[in-house]
Amino acid sequence: MPTPPAFPLTVFYDGACSVCAAEMSHYRSKNHGGRLIFVDISDHSFDPSPYGITLDEFMARMHAIDRSGRVYRAVEAFWAIWQAFPASTLYGFLGALVMAPGVNLLARLGYRGFARIRKYFPRRTPPCDGGSCRIDHR
């Protein structure tokens, strides 16, 4: 089992991926006591250099970095996110389940498959080379 995260946990996700954005929106809507910070790596202003991880690496699989600088990737990132919720919740159960030996292997294989095909899913926002399409018109 990985070392539990030191909160807050910064979760890096591809906000242009419709599935990824929906999942993070779901977590954001839950009461996690400010233990999770979400960073959209598809935003043109995102700079990966302070983290020592390339944008290609960030795009290849989900990352989460805790307060002490520990990096969680792919299935471990989901496990780390679920640690932000009480053990008595569904997420607490999923956190324990996903680290069980047989389940963990299946979860890793499933995540690897998803990561390979997610680029073919509909994009959440249209591509924008100039950045002006990201202006909030509210």
Enclosing domain of residue 42: 9-125
- Position 100 in a domain: yes
pLDDT average, residue stretch 121-126 = 71
Does the structure show a pLDDT above 80 at 129?
Answer: no
Summarize pLDDT for 83-92 with one digit per residue, the tens: 999 989 999 9
Residue 137 — very low, low, confident or very high, per pLDDT cuts 50/70/90? Answer: very low
- Position 72 in a domain: yes
Kindly report which listed range (4-8, 31-35, 97-101, 122-126) carries the lowest average pLDDT score: 122-126
Does the structure show a pLDDT above 80 at 101?
Answer: yes
Q: What is the mean pLDDT of the chain?
A: 90
Structure confidence at residue 138 (pLDDT): 40
- Position 15 in a domain: yes
Question: How many structural domains does the chain have?
Answer: 1
- Compute the radius of gyration of the chain from its Cα atoms: 15
The residue ranking higher by pLDDT, 118 or 72, is 72
- Position 24 in a domain: yes
- Position 4 in a domain: no
- Position 46 in a domain: yes
Q: What is the pTM of this model?
A: 0.86
Does the structure show a pLDDT above 80 at 60?
Answer: yes
Summarize pLDDT for 4-50 with one digit per residue, the tens: 999 999 999 999 999 999 999 999 999 888 999 999 999 999 999 99
- Position 80 in a domain: yes
Residue 106, amino acid: L
Give the C-alpha separation, 62 to 72, whole Å. 8
- Position 88 in a domain: yes
